[in-house]
Structure 1
Amino acid sequence: MTAQVTTDHLIEIMRSARQRTLELLEGLSDEQLVGPKLRILNPTIWEIGHVAWFHEYFILRREYGHQPLLDRGDTLYDSIAVAHDTRWDLLVYPLDEMKDYMARVLDTLTARLDAGQASERDSYLYQFTTFHEDMHDEAFTWARQTLAYPTPSFVPDGKRAQRVAETGPLDGDADIPGGTFPLGSRSDDPFVFDNEKWAHDVTLAPFRMARAPVTCGQFAEFVEDGGYEQDNLWSEDGLAWQRENDAKHPVYWKRDASGGWKVRAFDVWNELAPDTPVVHVNWHEAKAYCAWAGRRLPTEAEWEFAATMRPGPDGELVKSDYPWGDAPVTAVHANMDGFGLGCADVADYAAGDNAWGCRQLIGNVWEWTADTFNPFDGFAPDDYREYSEPLFGTTKALRGGSWVTRSRYVNARYRNYFGPERSDIFCGFRTCAAT
């Protein structure tokens, strides 16, 4: 069941998501709105149409029987029906017409919400389609990174706390006690994605987890030691990826004139910041680093245990929504929502620590886990049947969210998933002791 929320809340998050979408279009030329044909991206001019169509189709048309607002919407913007490699060749609507369509969909969605409490069904559908837009906004952001487009500009939401950033590294491991806990979400959780269903007991042995994600400085040591050229560190698939791409270092790194490293953030090359988490490294790279360092990636269950379990008043372990408890994410807990425009040092956000001293389990970078993304027993798809099911068995599970992820939809139970070769997303990793 989805917890009922107010219609004011639904309108607020829809408008917030739409503002972010429009901000991500700013400063892009007509050519950049189309962009090159790449397997890992969509043409932005197509993708904004898809985002608006998704709201319209799942709520206004399928749920409430409205007539289509676009004559050709279904043939252009249905991502299941429209093959990915054809999206650059479609005669899509121009940007001004797309913005008009987006506004009409949003106005129609808000107009049909009465004041007060939304129904359970509306609470689910309106949140899900908004979270879907949030996810595409993150994709728009990493597309700008992939293509070296200008740094986006996000207007603060007025709720950002004034805080002093902590800088530097955060070394060492936390001793996590293990035990039996419920992995996944319960039916009484306020909002649940289908791949989180349902909570089931898992028993873990005690383990030691790094207090922070692997930093750029630590990963640079692996690179300098020839980690990309040591075949024994790589899995068979990882070695095939490394050779096919002639990878010698993370995708957005390059040597400077002095022999140090520069790292590209959007269209700007910066000095490597050694105490920020390494980002834009794929699962193969994370696994190779672990082999080099004598470490391993945490399993999904270990990651969720560390991020949700904490001693209760009587000493028994209890589950919470976040590493720090059940209070929602704020700007003192985690680097999320995009306003920082990049990663913070791993020592920052101490208020977000878990019970054993692990930091930044939420925000900053998505964290690869060791596991293939698979359904929990009893899985059944929700309204958007293709949200999870087609990706089971072929992608790897990530957890925690990045600096650009919207905090309204990510908690410590949220499961993300991408192919092991993907480094374009805002992904990093933390490690566990090998034994």
Structure 2
Amino acid sequence: MQSTISSQIGLLENYRNVRAQTQFLCDPLEIEDFVVQPVMDVSPLKWHLGHTTWFFETFILKPNVSGYQEFHPKYPLLFNSYYISAGERWSRENRGQLTRPTVKEVFEYRSYVNDEMEKFLTGAVPEEIASVAVLGLNHEQQHQELFLYDIKRILGDNPLHPPYRTDKRNFQDIEVKRNWLNVDEGIYDVGYQGNDFHFDNEEGRHKVFLHNYKIASQLVTNGEYLEFIKDGGYTNHMLWLSEAWDWVNENKIKAPRYWSQEDGGAWWNYTLHGFEPIELHDPLCHISYYEADAFAKWKGFRLPTEQEWEVACNTFSPEVSKKVNFVEENNFRPIQTDDHSFFGNVWEWTASPYAPYPYYNPPEGALGEYNGKFMVNQMVLRGGSFGTARNHLRSTYRNFFHPHLRWMFSGIRLAKHI
């Protein structure tokens, strides 16, 4: 794993920028918003702040700064997530039980570690340690996106439907015609190749054979999915995998997460701007793999494999365009763009289970637990979302979630055989 930072000044500046972005995401919130944990998948927002700070304290400062005094001896227990090699952990489902440390104390913890990291990064930092710092920054960017998932769940399930942001919709509502992009049969290379930062699950690069296929030039929209609902998509068992059908019925699923119908009439949804009418042209969001697979079958198509997605992205969108909807645009919602939208807007479900590539070799120690231990019972998503940082994405980036989850910013791109 190599650092993308060419100088210590660059590393320090990058550290400041990432930590400042976290603060920016916190600015619209009230103190009560930081302490709620409605379900196990949602962590209290103050936990995200503490955990990303714990990462730098645990993997940078404590092992590399002589005489470093940790902020609080019990914080490693509270803010370790799943790194068994790094010590004991407070159980995930009980993070919301703790009123202490207070939100104020967690921000003091961040400030303390920021000061220590500033001093450390001002000096000469060996490349091996710099690469861990860059991993920590990418790790914090992941938690910035999780932060948005979680605050939307916290506010979206509130009967008051309070907005996270009150900014007005500042972009043109456009309708883009979908067409099919052709990819020829052949042998292709997939996986990361280069010296810039990447996660270990993107290694190693290998060859795959792909048959002729077509992939949609645009994401599935709210309007298209509404037709699926109206046609009885949630009541037609022939469209659903067996496990998915059980999930639909046990949880009484009738629409995407945050959608609701007003007295059998107009459809509304909760966005980070509040409770709003559904924009039919916007890309669909908050869909589980189960729903994505059922919708694709209803349309007579399928989901692409992650290899098909990566090859198509490299073929038709090798560079990230200026039109991409990332978190820096401050839209905080998916919007229709007139590019192919392989990057940004919503994470795209693929038909591929999350598994190691050939030659996969995770690093030793606690950081080796970052990805590999989760390579079971999950599906791969590609492309990023409106909550993802622009400099965080690559065509080889592999996200992964369990197939029933949908509180994240997830959507659909269709594919078909030729």
Spell out, residue by residue over 1:219-259, the C-alpha distance to the aligned partner (whole angstroms, 9 max, x if none): 11101100000011000111011011101111211113571
Structure 2 match to 1:57: 58
Structure 2 match to 1:175: 182
The alignment partner of 1:287 has SS state of helix
Spell out, residue by residue over 1:101-130, the C-alpha distance to the aligned partner (whole angstroms, 9 max, x if none): 101211211212247x86432431121111
1:108 has 2:112 as partner: no
The alignment partner of 2:328 has SS state of coil
Contact 1:76–1:92, Cα closer than 8 Å, also in 2:
no
1:214 has 2:214 as partner: no
Structure 1 match to 2:72: 70
Structure 1 match to 2:26: 25
1:302 has 2:324 as partner: no
Contact 2:272–2:332, Cα closer than 8 Å, also in 1:
no
- CA shift, 1:64, in A, is 4.5
| Structure 1 residues without counterparts, runs of 5 or longer | 156-162, 311-322, 351-358
1:126 has 2:117 as partner: no
Structure 2 match to 1:367: 348
Structure 1 match to 2:255: 249
Structure 1 match to 2:274: 268
**Structure 1 residues 14 and 369, CA, compared in 2 at 3 Å: closer, same or farther?**
same
1: distance between equivalents of 2:229 and 2:411? 15
2: distance between equivalents of 1:108 and 1:27? 27
The number of residues matched between the two structures is: 401
Contact 1:26–1:152, Cα closer than 8 Å, also in 2:
no
| Aligned with residue 385 of structure 1, among 368, 380, 385 | 368
- CA shift, 1:414, in A, is 0.4
| Aligned residue runs from structure 1 range 313-392, under 5 A | 323-325=317-319, 329=320, 331-337=322-328, 339-345=330-336, 348-350=337-339, 359-382=340-363, 384-392=367-375
Contact 2:163–2:275, Cα closer than 8 Å, also in 1:
no
2: distance between equivalents of 1:386 and 1:244? 33
The alignment partner of 1:181 has SS state of strand
1:83 has 2:81 as partner: no
Structure 2 match to 1:40: 41
Structure 2 match to 1:235: 241
Structure 2 match to 1:418: 401
| Aligned with residue 193 of structure 1, among 196, 199, 222 | 199
The alignment partner of 1:202 has SS state of strand
Contact 2:286–2:411, Cα closer than 8 Å, also in 1:
yes
- CA shift, 1:260, in A, is 2.4
Spell out, residue by residue over 1:385-430, the C-alpha distance to the aligned partner (whole angstroms, 9 max, x if none): 2221221121110000001101112111100001101110000010
1: distance between equivalents of 2:27 and 2:327? 21
- CA shift, 1:92, in A, is 3.2
Output the amino acid matched with 1:299. Answer: T
The alignment partner of 1:87 has SS state of helix
Comparing 211-220 with 376-385, greater Cα deviation is found at: 376-385
State the Cα RMSD in Å.
2.3
2: distance between equivalents of 1:57 and 1:206? 48
Structure 1 match to 2:86: none
1: distance between equivalents of 2:284 and 2:181? 20
**Structure 1 residues 141 and 263, CA, compared in 2 at 3 Å: closer, same or farther?**
same
- CA shift, 1:203, in A, is 1.5
Comparing 25-34 with 171-180, greater Cα deviation is found at: 25-34
- CA shift, 1:25, in A, is 2.8
1:431 has 2:382 as partner: no
Output the amino acid matched with 2:385. Answer: S
Comparing 77-86 with 22-31, greater Cα deviation is found at: 22-31
Tell me which protein shows more helix as a share of its residues.
2
2: distance between equivalents of 1:55 and 1:152? 28
Contact 1:371–1:396, Cα closer than 8 Å, also in 2:
yes
**Structure 1 residues 39 and 267, CA, compared in 2 at 3 Å: closer, same or farther?**
farther
Output the amino acid matched with 1:22. Answer: Q
2: distance between equivalents of 1:255 and 1:105? 47
Contact 2:326–2:390, Cα closer than 8 Å, also in 1:
no
**Structure 1 residues 151 and 407, CA, compared in 2 at 3 Å: closer, same or farther?**
farther
1: distance between equivalents of 2:374 and 2:176? 35
TM-score, scaled to structure 1: 0.86
Spell out, residue by residue over 1:113-152, the C-alpha distance to the aligned partner (whole angstroms, 9 max, x if none): 247x864324311211111111111111111211226444
Comparing 190-199 with 139-148, greater Cα deviation is found at: 139-148
Output the amino acid matched with 1:109. Answer: M
Output the amino acid matched with 1:42. Answer: S
Structure 1 match to 2:2: 2
1: distance between equivalents of 2:326 and 2:21? 17
Contact 1:6–1:118, Cα closer than 8 Å, also in 2:
no
Contact 1:20–1:154, Cα closer than 8 Å, also in 2:
no
Structure 2 match to 1:141: 148
Output the amino acid matched with 1:289. Answer: F
Residue identity over aligned pairs, in percent, reads: 28
Comparing 128-137 with 381-390, greater Cα deviation is found at: 381-390
